[in-house]
Amino acid sequence: MKNISTPSLPHVRNFALGLLISLPLTGIGTGLHASVDRTAFEAVAPTIEQARANILISRQLQFTHLRDQTINDELAGEVFADYLDYLDGQRIYLTQKDIDDFEPLKESMGASLRTGQLQPGFDIYNRVQTRILERLDYALGQLEEGIGQFQSESDETLLLDRSKADWEPDQEALDQLWDKRLRNAVLGQRLNGSSDEEIIEVLTRRYESQRKRISQMRSEDAFQAYMNAFTGTWDPHTSYFSPRNSENFNINMSLSLEGIGAVLQSDNEYTKVVRLVPGGPAARQSQLSPADRIVSVKQEDEEEPTNVIGWRLDEVVDLIRGPRGSTVTLEVIPATASDETVTRTISIKRDKVKLEEQSAQSDVIELDRNGETYRIGLIDIPTFYADFQAMQRGDPDYKSTTRDVRRLLENLKEERNIDGLVVDLRNNGGGALHEANDLVGLFIDQGPTVQIRGTDDQVQVLADQDPSVAWDGPMVVLVNRMSASASEIFAGAIQDYGRGLVVGSQTFGKGTVQAVRSLNHGQLKITQSKFYRVSGGSTQHRGVIPDIKIPSRIDNSRIGEDSLERALPWDQIEAVPHARYFDFSNVIDDLRDRHQARFSENPEFRLLQKEIDFLEEQRETTMVSLNEDKRRRYQNELERRQLTIANARRELRGEEPFESFEAMEEHQEQQAAAAHGNEDDELDFIVREGGHIMADMLELDRRMATILPSGTVTARAQ
């Protein structure tokens, strides 16, 4: 990894606000210690169309959103706080005096949000942009004086996450904070082996790029930021799309098919990777990871990358998109990075998402245990797909998840003679709802699969009407934190029916449905319904809790519904009558004990646990030293531990260890250039463990070899 300064810019994704009266905010000082002659920020102003859209948004939120709340002083206070968080989430631009100046606006905000009086919100936006330019000019002025002043011999430290810190009292205190930030940026470059001249060139170019971005801000940027602070107080999936973003609505789900295949979202001033699209270039390459944050984007015909900190999501996506066969290079802060100065460069060759790699695939795991061989079928389902166009044309051979899985099951039963089945839904982010419903039907006779409650509290029940069963034997469903939406519906139904065991880690918890509604100016994506399991519990927020848990590298505090501010809560409704095929209560403790005994002796699991512990240590790090010797020792220790883990994994695979950390990075870069990386070792041994759990089930109770319904559940879920 290399170290590069990544100073924060404001969060200007789809977040915003509205106010009643216009209070001009005066007394803005420069706060600069060097003479820097640069263009000032040109204030932006609201339009009549935006004011009308604000009023429409207010009505839609109050009367059609699933969450019932009114626009009052309490809610206005939340909007005010959110707006400031999104504009200056790390509290590095505004002072406490600025916050005090804003306070009168907060008092009248409730009325302004209902009536479309936007100017006060724009005043806040304009003040923040001016403060950002002041800070960038201060940094550039310091660089013009040279970086010899940024010595790294003191024992000072820098707080990594300032989102909960107090606002600095005045400009002088901000100067001191920015001196620390600059010292940290310079130190990161020095540890990377850069000369003073190179450091000045890199940091100047970076700050100038960010400054240029601020100077190009326009009215729609302020309105979008403003309205999304407002809509976000209902839930994180309700948001405003400007007219331009309305044309690119698909960016909130994935990049275009001719792209890198990644689901992105705004995360304060950064664009964050949420998940990788199965079959996409990024997934095939295995270098980009969930929770990585994008710092810059570089095209193959460009000499210098474009810094995208503080850019809107749609603009970042526009840079990443490109023609098939071209290469885009992303500079990212890895999810595992110790601080924001540590970045990694990843080159990805754009391509179409390969549909065949999204299709369900099958395999057989053979396990020799106690003189007996178990043949466990494996079906990997990357997504819930359906060829809707072929279906509408009446094509009898149209492709879908359920049709493919039925065919694979027939082959596994008749030609492979399997004893049990493992269905792998890890990293499956969902897809077609009707496919989740139909897929459940392959494993039950008939019955409900999911409940959907709307804003009117009416509940719609989807059900399998087909009495045929494609597989009536025992099964295990593998899930992880990236299993979401339709995956959670399927896993929850299998668990509720007692049809199989769910194994892995807590799922994502995305249990809401959104609709897009046109406005006079842009569109509103609004949450209108919620999924519930047949047992009555929602999949929202809580997701599906596995029967047997396996830890994961994924950081639940950064990925998942319960990591999002104001996510709708878990709740429950009445259960619907459904069969219960097997009661696992008599065997689950024994199954867990066997699993734990096996994992305690498994070198791959011990290595995974060691890596998880290392990552958790990094996540708990709140301060970084500005002393060069201490920082170098810290970085060397991090590299040593990463190298130890990587070499232990290579030893398990019978490969030669890396001689150095640099050799490991070079190997990773070569894999990136070849557009394919190592298979994730976690996947292989967890699949095998799913097979072992299945074999345990067969050994503990031979009755499960052919499961029969054991009753009907009608009670409320507990």
Among residues 314, 496, 547, 555, the one annotated as catalytic is 496
Q: How far is Cα of residue 225 from the mean position of the Cα atoms in its chain?
A: 20
Q: Which positions ≥6 away from 60 have C-beta within 8 Å?
A: 517, 524, 526
Query: Is residue 58 among the annotated active site residues?
Result: no
Among residues 181, 209, 241, the one where a domain terminates is 241
| 371 shares a domain with 408 | yes
For 634, counting Cβ atoms within 10 Å of its Cβ (0-12 exposed, 13-18 middle, 19+ buried), the class is middle
Q: Which two tokens stand for residue 493?
A: 């139904």
Cα three-residue angle 554-540-481, rounded to 5 degrees: 15
Q: Three-state SS for 650?
A: helix
Burial group, residue 638, by CB count within 10 angstroms (0-12, 13-18, 19+):
buried
Are the C-beta atoms of 414 and 462 separated by less than 8 Å? no
- If you ran DSSP here, which 8-state letter would residue 610 be given? H
Nearest to 713 by CA among 413, 504, 391, 497: 497
CATH number of the domain within which 332 lies: 2.30.42.10
Q: In terms of DSSP bridges, do strands 351-352 and 258-259 run parallel, antiparallel, or are they unpaired? A: antiparallel
Residue 145: inside a domain:
yes
pLDDT tens per residue, range 256-308: 345 788 888 777 778 888 888 777 888 888 788 888 999 889 998 888 888 88
Residues near 409 by beta carbon (within 8 Å), at least 6 away in sequence: 377, 379, 421, 442, 470, 471
What is the C-alpha to C-alpha distance for residues 460 and 452, in angstroms, rounded to an integer? 5
**Residue holding tokens 């699209």?**
277
Residue 100 bears catalytic tag: no
Q: Which of 485, 505, 535, 538 is catalytic?
A: 485
Is residue 30 located within the same domain as residue 162? Answer: yes
Same domain assignment for residues 33 and 8: yes
160-174, 483-497, 550-564: range with lowest mean pLDDT: 550-564
Q: Same domain for 418 and 527?
A: yes
The C-alpha atoms of residue 504 and residue 488 are separated, in whole angstroms, by: 13
In the chain, % of residues over pLDDT 70: 87
Q: Are the C-beta atoms of residues 547 and 588 closer than 8 Å to each other?
A: yes
Beta-strand pair 327-333/293-299: antiparallel
pLDDT at 668 over 90: no
Instruction: Indicate if the pLDDT at residue 597 is higher than 90.
Output: yes
Q: What is the pLDDT of residues 21-49, one digit of tens each?
A: 233 343 333 333 334 445 567 899 999 99
Per-residue confidence (pLDDT) for residue 253, from 0 to 100: 34
| Residue 246: per-residue pLDDT | 59
Phi, psi values for residue 293, rounded to 5°: -115, 135
The count of domains in the chain is 3
The answer on 332 and 185 residing in a single domain is no
Domain assignment of residue 222, yes or no: yes
Domain boundary among 351, 374, 397: 351
Residue 175's domain spans which residues?
2-241
179 within 8 A of 141, measured Cβ to Cβ: no
Are 707 and 472 a contacting pair, CB within 8 Å? yes
622 domain residue, yes or no: no
Let me know whether 49 and 67 are in one domain. yes
The two tokens of residue 72 are 């009052």
SS3 308: coil
- CB-CB contact of 509 with 539 (8 Å): yes
Q: Let me know whether 108 and 88 are in one domain.
A: yes
Between 342-346, 421-425, 474-478, 543-547, the lowest mean confidence (pLDDT) is in 342-346
Average pLDDT over the chain reads 85
H helices of 313-400, in order, are: 313-320, 355-358, 388-393
Contact criterion met (CB below 8 Å) for 689 and 600: no
* Residue 97 falls in the annotated catalytic set: no
Strand extents, DSSP E, 491-553:
501-504, 512-518, 523-532, 548-549
Q: Is residue 383 part of a domain?
A: yes
CATH number of domain containing 383 = 3.90.226.10
Q: Can you give the C-alpha Rg of the chain in angstroms?
A: 27
* 48 Cβ neighbours under 8 A, 6+ residues apart: none
Compute CA distances 89 → 46, 308, 553, 660, whole Å.
23, 16, 26, 38
What phi and psi, each to the nearest 5 degrees, are found at residue 273?
-80, 125
For 568-593, write each residue's pLDDT tens digit.
999 999 999 999 999 999 899 999 99
> Which residues have C-beta within 8 Å of that of residue 75, sequence separation ≥ 6?
69, 110, 233
- Please indicate, yes or no, if residue 218 is contained in any of the structural domains: yes
Q: Which of 106, 510, 525, 530 is catalytic?
A: 510
Specify the 3-state DSSP secondary structure of 315: helix
Backbone dihedral region of 77: left (phi > 0), alpha (psi from -120 to 50 degrees) or beta? Answer: alpha
The owner of tokens 């494609």 is 470
> What's the pTM?
0.83
Q: Where a domain ends, among 220, 241, 262?
A: 241
Residue 607 lies in a domain: no
Q: How many angstroms separate the CA atoms of 303 and 286, rounded?
A: 25
207 shares its domain with 280:
no
| Residue 691 domain flag | no
DSSP-based three-state secondary structure for 574: coil
Q: Per-residue pLDDT tens for 491-549? A: 999 999 999 999 999 999 999 999 999 999 999 999 999 999 999 999 999 999 999 99
The answer to whether residue 710 sits within a structural domain is no
User: From CA 98, how far away is CA 165, in angstroms rounded?
Assistant: 15
Packed helices 486-496 and 433-441: angle between N→C axes, nearest 10 degrees: 30
Residues 295 and 408 placed together within one structural domain of the fold: no
For the chain, first and last CA: distance in Å?
Answer: 48
Q: How far apart are CA 599 and CA 38, in angstroms?
A: 61
- Is residue 5 pLDDT above 60, yes or no? no
| Cβ-contact 461, 448 below 8 angstroms | yes
Instruction: Say which amino acid occupies 599.
Output: F
Q: In sequence order, what are the residues at sequence separation of 6 or more whose Cβ sits closer than 8 angstroms to the Cβ of residue 585?
A: none
